[in-house]
Amino acid sequence: MAAAVDRAAVSARLEGLVDWERRKRASMRVSTDPARALLAALGEPQRGLRVVHVTGSKGKGSTSALVAAGLARAGLRVGRYASPHVERLNERVVIDGVEAGDELLYGSLARALDAREALIRERPEVDPTWFDVMTAAAFVCFREAGVEWVVAEVGLGGRLDSTNVLDGEVCVITNIELEHTAVLGDTHFAIATEKAGILKLGCTLVTGVPAGSEADRAIAARAAELGVAVRRPLSAPVEPDTVAERNRRVAAAVLDELGTRGVVGRAGERLSGGLLDPATALRAALPGRQERFRVGSVPVVLDGAHTPASVAAALADLARDPALRARPVVVLGLARDKDQAGILKHLAPEAEKLVSTSVGTELHRTAAEIAEAAAAVGVMAESATPPRAALELALEHARSRGAWVLVIGSLYLAGALRPDLRQAAT
């Protein structure tokens, strides 16, 4: 790989591609064919990788990070592929717990972009997207770095996602919520069917989906069709019943299953969930997931929850913290495809005040729209843009009320405010 890479030039080429993470998805083209063609042109960099493949409506990023941290603690060389990123593209490609450096990442992206251009000259109809190129580049990074294991997080859905070129030895479905319904379907059964598309012959499924639920019926049918064994680590009560503990239980079950399959660490010991001690779990923490800051005297929590269930779970977790007993001033930004009414239903009884904002893309509701909806359900609301202005307003309100600030509703909002919070934090 070249010693020097023109990052700006590579970024410009990449950003010129269709990026469905930043477009309305109702007309989204979904197929693994372009990703497969691109990987073939790159010499199949994913071949030979041992894989844990993770999907689900929520928790897949944290679960992936925990599994990767456990593998790394066992002395195995591990790559993690994640999406979306909060601040830096490098967050998507992590090797042994460290984000890929610019030379490796942008050099791999340049190779993937070159291969894409050569491919479409011969087959114009293929046209790999932004995410296809990003996925292929990640696998090139992992090949260059000599990783043994990859923990790959699905971008959207499962069956037709670019990552579904992989054959996971263990596949994970964390949970199922009504999200991305324009692409995946508008029932739990339909969405679960799409996510169960990552299952392959010979794998084991680890899932947090409740047994007997509508979603589980779809998953169980696909598992039975393939003869896939199923582990359900959340079938017994979880204590403490927090988002973090549920994610840890699922990740621990993945490591237990790998150990059952004979996977051993560098010292020869079989893998197990015991690898996820508190220090290892802490190293797996991701930005924008109940992330804590303090700006002067005001505690600030940054969380990317953007469905009613995940917002409710975040509020329940934060209510356990004695330092957050007061009602929060909430900074809320939402994409248009999110359940605004459902989210506001959970925030309404908890918020001291709400400051609505927007990151300003066509995919996101305006600050005024959110404030109007909040006022309609009895929440005292103001609007402010850009997000930095909303944060400043929320901090001012929190200082005057002895409250704290909760930034929630979007990882894009988290990404917009995290640099300011890191700079201002004491």
pLDDT, residue 341, reads 95
Question: Which residue ranges in the chain fall short of pLDDT 50?
Answer: 1-3
CATH superfamily name and code, 291-424: Mur ligase, C-terminal domain (3.90.190.20)
pLDDT digits (tens, 9 = 90+) for 288-299: 999 999 999 999
Strands ordered across the beta sheet of 50-55: 98-99, 93-95, 78-81, 149-153, 50-55, 170-173, 204-207, 229-231
pLDDT, residue 4, reads 75
Domain boundaries, the chain: 7-283, 291-424
- Tokens 């988290």 map to which residue? 414
CATH superfamily name and code, 7-283: Mur-like, catalytic domain (3.40.1190.10)
Task: Give the integer Cα–Cα distance in Å for 221 and 228.
Answer: 10
User: The whole model's pTM is what?
Assistant: 0.94
pLDDT digits (tens, 9 = 90+) for 232-266: 999 999 999 999 999 999 999 999 999 999 999 99
pLDDT, residue 426, reads 65
Task: Give the integer Cα–Cα distance in Å for 376 and 387.
Answer: 22
pLDDT, residue 19, reads 67
